[in-house]
Amino acid sequence: MSGRGPGPAGPPVTYLDHAATSPLRPGVAEAMAPFLGARFANPSGSHRLARDARTALEDARDQVAAALGADPAEVVFTGGGTEADNLAVLGALWARVGPGPATVVCSAVEHAAVLAPAGAAARRAAGHPGAPSVELLLAPVDADGAVLVDGLGELLGEETAVVSVMLANNEVGTVQPVGAVVDAVRRAAPRAVVHTDAVQAAAWLDVAALAAGCDLVSVSAHKVGGPKGAGALVVRRGTRIEPLLFGGGQEQDRRSGTHDVAGAVGLAAALGAARSARAEESARAAALRDRLADGLLSSVAGAVESADRRRVLPGHCHLRFAGVEREELLVLLDEAGVCASAGAACASGALEPSHVLLAMGVPAAQAAGAVRFTLGHTTTAADVDRALAVVPDAVARLRAGG
């Protein structure tokens, strides 16, 4: 996605941060537009305009369900991936907690939207004497960031309430062995609920097939070319969750609040478009990613690829540059019009090393020079060419003290 910067004198913009957010796909804005205009009604009403909005909402639910391999009644619309993750972890935990202890088992490389609510539940339980105990346990990962299923299995037991392992990592892009995780949980902790955060994977992978055994599946619209502020949680039939939001009882009492019809329509349109174009886009992005990674590895001494690209999403290129600080490098890249990130978008500007890289065994000093370049449906060969021209010079400047 090349263009001009903010202002006539701005440098050309090369956008390589699709893992943070991706531009709207063709047709998404058009699908949403009527519900930002004349078809504005609240779908919870009873008059004709409300019925029209409700029909559109349920059509969107059908489309999301088809894309995710769910029944329409299993789809809960949310305000994004973070809310979907919180509802999955806390909702399932609260539905399970009784007089005995409960554990939440996560991979050590989960997104903060999973780790933070699980950790908060454990801290709150510890701070209230007499309350049921909650413990967060982290499963180890290998050097590529894939969870070690045997290691996770050692953490499972009768007290396991929730197991959460993402379908693909948001930082380094590693695809997780979710099917094997589900099998391990069913054997060792049959009462546990299995959740997968498919937010990063939905643009590239067949979530319906890969997450078929999971009880809860989270997705977010803006990662697949839809609008920000829209997402969904699949809650398989028979899976109990407690709501986080109370009020009007929408979404079968699982998530109260007036529906964002336009957001739901945009999510459905983006998921459908991504699903239709997946094979072609994956092959194209992987070829561009390989050219970007190979070019930077050959032109920048000391550059290291963080994970085996055969195990990562097609659009992910995560590199570590020895002798530079990532925030300084990102500033220089931005000045030259190349948009990249240090990892999770919500951690931008953070000075501490990535918890993902540390869990992978990367020393903190090496993690300091990590940069994530992520490609998407609008990435072109010109974008890769521009990055190959800009990044080596920016690294050289920093290493020379410039």
First to last CA, the chain: 29
Find, among 186, 183, 195, 167, the residue nearest to 95 by Cα.
Answer: 195
Find, among 77, 73, 286, 270, the residue nearest to 175 by Cα.
Answer: 286
Q: How far is the C-alpha of 16 from the C-alpha of 211, rounded, in Å?
A: 27
Contact 297, 303 (CB under 8 A): yes
For 68-82, b where at least 16 C-beta lie within 10 A, e where not — what string? bbbeeebbbbbbbbb
**Phi, psi values for residue 158, rounded to 5°:** -60, -30
DSSP 141: B
Neighbours of 308 (CB within 10 A): 14
Please report which helix (H) or strand (E) contains residue 136, including its range. Answer: strand 134-139
> CA torsion angle for 133, 85, 187, 313 (degrees, to 10)?
-140
Sign of CA pseudo-dihedral 214, 219, 224, 226: positive
Which one of the listed residues 106, 214, 339, 346 is annotated catalytic? 346
Long-range contacts, stretch 186-189, CB < 8 angstroms, 24+ apart:
186/213, 187/153, 188/153, 188/156, 188/157, 188/160, 189/156, 189/157, 189/158, 189/160, 189/163
Find, among 156, 102, 152, 92, the residue nearest to 125 by Cα.
Answer: 102
* 339: annotated active-site residue: no
Which residues are catalytic, by number? Answer: 346
